[in-house]
Structures are given as C-alpha cells and as structure tokens.
Amino acid sequence: MELINKNEIGKKLSGRLLLNKSMKYIFLLCTLVGLVVLATLLIDTIIDGWSYLTTDFFTNFSSSRPENAGIKGALIGTLWLMATTAPIAIILSVGTALYLEEYAPKNKITDFIKINISNLAGVPSVVFGLLGLTLFVRMAGLGNSVLAAALTMSLMILPVIVVASQEAIRSVPSSIREASIGMGATKWQTITRVILPASLPGIITGIILSLSRAIGETAPLVVIGIPTILLFTPTGVFDTFSALPMQIFSWVKMPNPEFQSITAAAILVLLFILFLMNSVAIYIRNKYSKRF
C-alpha cells in the first residue's frame, strides 16, 4: 500500500498551486494600487512644482502676485512651530509614559488612564484644534501665537508618543532592570541610566513620527485661526506666524491657475521635510535597535 496517493494529490495540486499563484498576484495588486496612486501624485506634483523651486521661492513672503509668491513666512513659521512643539510634547509624554510604566500602581485607575490615552490617539485633529482655541487661544489669552499652536499640537501628538514610549520602556528586559536594582541602584538611577538609554531608540522613533504628523496637520491651525497673509516672521513664541500646510491650503483656493503650480512647489518642500524627518527616524531605529 502506498502511503501517498499520487493520483489523488495530482488532482488537487494544480488547484492549490493556482490558488497560491493567484493570491500572490492579488496581494501584489493590493500593494500596487497604493504605490501607483502615490507615485502618480508625486510625479504630477514634481512636474508641476519643480520649476518653481527657485531661491526666490524660499526668500520671498507669500503674495497675491504669483511671480512674487514665496514660502519664507510659512517655512520659518513651521520651523518655529516644530521647535516649540517638540520640547513640550517630549517632556509631557515621556514623563507620562515613565510614570505609567514605572511608578503607577497596577490598579483599575491606571488601566483606565492607559485605555483613555490610547483612545485619545484616535480623536480627530480638528477636535484638538477646538480644544486649543478655547483653552490656549481664548482662556489663556495666548492669541494665535506660536505657543498656542505648539501647545495644541503637543496635546494632539501626546498620546502617540506616550504609547510608543510605553512600548519601548516595556520592551527593556526585566533582567537588566533587576540587575541594576540588584547592584544597589535607586529607582531613579535605574530609570536614567538603564531604562531610558535602552528604550531611547523606540521613544525617539515615536517622537519623530508624531512630529512629522504634526508638521503636515492643517485642521487644528485652521481652527485656531493662524493667519496666512503676513509679511514678517516670528521673533518669539508669543508672536503670530503662518505655517506650510496653511499656506498650501490658502494657495490652492486662489483663482489664478499659476497658483496651482506654486502650491505644488510648496507641497514638495513639505514632503521633503517629512522625508527628512522619517529618514532620521529610520536611521535611529536601525542604528540602535540591536542592543539586546
């Protein structure tokens, strides 16, 4: 008696192979749909905007006259916004993550807080804009300043960084944690000298990825009422400013068709900054991820 009935297998084999093959192409198609759309968009934007990326484009302020239009105000405003958002968001969210992972007692209240932080990550950005408008712009009287926008953005990206940091802290092996305590280190020493360095790549990746979300975010800025027509750059965090996504949003609505190309050029600049930030995130992740 044969253990394998070749006849029987032969009958089923072709069907299975076909299924295997067709699934491969279906998944390839799924991947391609996203890629092709993205590539089309990118190529279209590059063709449209490339010739507008001149030095003048970076040194001129926004203008209603297409030949004078530039992104100086918006670009510097965006850099101010990011430079202010980053420290606020980092201190608040890494602090939160450390407390939740290292100090908080394991009870229902802590669980409740953790669940809510995860839920916050899914709240639409426009809601954070409304929160920022009421809390920072109106109640704290910060107006549409860099600080008001940065605080709003920080709140928006806070949950993402907290969750990423929590993951990173949790992934530090308990053996080295215990070893540190066993050597007589205090909890604070263990955190600053063992846990934080070990979890830093994960935390930084989370920070950079959420900052690159914040940099392209338009809705909260629209709600806060960031001006788009201004011919000066901020000199401090209490000054008002403009930002790249706002500039893009207002240019795309201009009647003169030439502004469509100028918008494309501004999109390229924003994409380039995004690309740069994401590359840094990937670099850090790759460089430091093989520690344990």
Partner 1 sequence: MKKSIFMAALLMSLVFILAACGGGNASDPSEESTEDSNGEATEGSEASADAEGSASGSVTGDGSSTVAPILELINEDFNAEYPDVQVSIGVSGTGGGFEKFVAGETDFQNASREIKEEEISALEEAGIDFTEFKVANDGLTVAVNTENDFVDYLTFEELQTIYSGEAETWNDVRDEFPEEEITAYAPDQSHGTHDFFKEAVMEDGDITAELNQDTNVISQSVTSDANSIGFFGYNFYMVNQDNLKGVPVQGPDNEEPVEVKEETVMSYDYPLARPLFVYAKNESVENNESFMQFMEFTLNNASSAAEEAGYVALTEEEMQEQKDKLEDFK
Query: Contact positions toward partner 1, by CB under 8 A?
Result: 62-65, 68, 91-92, 95, 98-99, 103, 138-145, 147, 151, 186-188, 222, 225-232, 234-240, 250, 252-257, 260
Please state the closest distance from residue 258 (CB atom) to partner 1, in A. 9
CB 152 within 8 A of CB 81: no
CB 147 within 8 A of CB 238: yes
Closest CA relative to residue 284, chosen from 187, 203, 218, 181: 203
Give the dihedral of Cα atoms 74, 79, 80, 86; nearest 10 deg.
140
Residues pairing with 53 in the sheet = none
Q: Please give the Cα distance from 86 to 94 (Å, whole number).
A: 12
Please state the closest distance from residue 230 (CB atom) to partner 1, in A. 4
Q: How many CB atoms lie within 10 A of CB 13?
A: 11
149 versus 209: smaller Cβ distance to partner 1: 149
34 versus 257: smaller Cβ distance to partner 1: 257
27 versus 103: smaller Cβ distance to partner 1: 103
253 versus 290: smaller Cβ distance to partner 1: 253
Residues pairing with 240 in the sheet = 145
Measured CA distances, 83 to 89, 212, 268, 269 (Å):
10, 12, 21, 18
65 versus 108: smaller Cβ distance to partner 1: 65
Q: Which residue carries 């507008």 as its tokens?
A: 52
5 versus 64: smaller Cβ distance to partner 1: 64
AA letter at 204: I
